[in-house]
Amino acid sequence: MKLKIYQIDAFTDVVFKGNYAAVIVLTEWLSTELMQKIASENNLSETAFVKIIGNNSYQIRWFSPLCEIDFCGHATLASAFVLFKEYSQVNKISFFADAVGEFKVSQNNDGLISMIFPSMMPEAIDYIPETLLAGLSIKPLEVLRNKQAYFALYDNEQDVVQLQSNSLALKKLAPFDVVVTSKANINNDYDFVSRYFWPANGGDEDPVTGSIHTGLAPLWAQRLNKNTLKAYQASKRGGVLYCNVVNDKVKISGTAVQYLAGEISL
């Protein structure tokens, strides 16, 4: 069996930046075991498997090297990039995922791809786990949580950039990951910055995480009193996300670039 595979750098317009994802388009699902083996072999942040289910309509599943993921923004952006480029002559498609439901993706004339997701606004918690504090070299000012991750808030961008994580400690927070964030105060091009740690579900630090911005964007929209925001994820690769919050929806937009196209032999 031969499978076409694409590797895409998402939330960037140059290779070797943003977050990498593999994309495989299917007409029938492979077994979950086989998809996990392929994702582990790829050893990228995520491998997205996309199944055609109708006219410009697709079901999508995401796998890290360790496990299947409920929701992944950057691999969705990568998948949409492939579909718009190779499989579709339109500029609007829809995806369906079990944990997210149906959501729309569109591409502008300038290549910017926009995804509309449900808001996942984090909420205050009564108790901050000691393992969270042990896992971050700088103590946060405040901690919130949604169904995906703990949100550790800091006073300035320097703390977010400079802090170090302890993966062994943060792994104990499973199934939750950890995002650290602050208002941007170094580069005025951005409204807020973040970094994302997910040792329980994928790796030590994720380069750019679209899904967590469904929580970050409404959080900072509320605190900065603005609904249109530009975000920077301050990993070593780095990535830029354009966010717009409207009621209970979050539009996350970005660019992508193809690194390779190849073939898997099974």
Same domain, 72 and 141: no
Same domain, 14 and 89: yes
pLDDT exceeds cutoff 80 at 2:
yes
Domain harbouring 131, CATH code:
3.10.310.10
Measure the CA–CA gap between 239 and 200, rounded to whole angstroms: 22
pLDDT exceeds cutoff 90 at 200:
no
Specify the pTM.
0.91
Same domain, 27 and 101: yes
What is the pLDDT averaged over residues 79-96? Answer: 90
Measure the CA–CA gap between 159 and 164, rounded to whole angstroms: 9
pLDDT at 239: 96
Same domain, 230 and 165: yes
Q: Are 142 and 132 in contact (CB under 8 A)?
A: no
Q: Of 105, 138, 133, 124, nearest to 210 (Cα)? A: 105
Percent pLDDT > 90 in the chain is 88
The domain total for the chain is 2
What CA–CA distances, in Å, run from 266 to 4, 24, 37, 202? Answer: 11, 14, 11, 24
pLDDT exceeds cutoff 80 at 65:
yes
Same domain, 11 and 62: yes
Active site residue 46: yes
Catalytic option among 33, 41, 46, 205: 46
What is the pLDDT averaged over residues 223-230? Answer: 97
Same domain, 202 and 259: no
Task: Write out the residue range of the structural domain in which residue 67 sits.
Answer: 2-116+253-265
Same domain, 226 and 142: yes
pLDDT at 95: 96
Same domain, 109 and 17: yes
Q: 202: which 2 tokens?
A: 């994928």
Same domain, 183 and 231: yes
The DSSP result for 204-219, as a single string, is EEES--TTTHHHHHHH
Same domain, 207 and 108: no
pLDDT exceeds cutoff 80 at 25:
yes
Same domain, 240 and 261: no
What is the pLDDT averaged over residues 124-133? Answer: 95
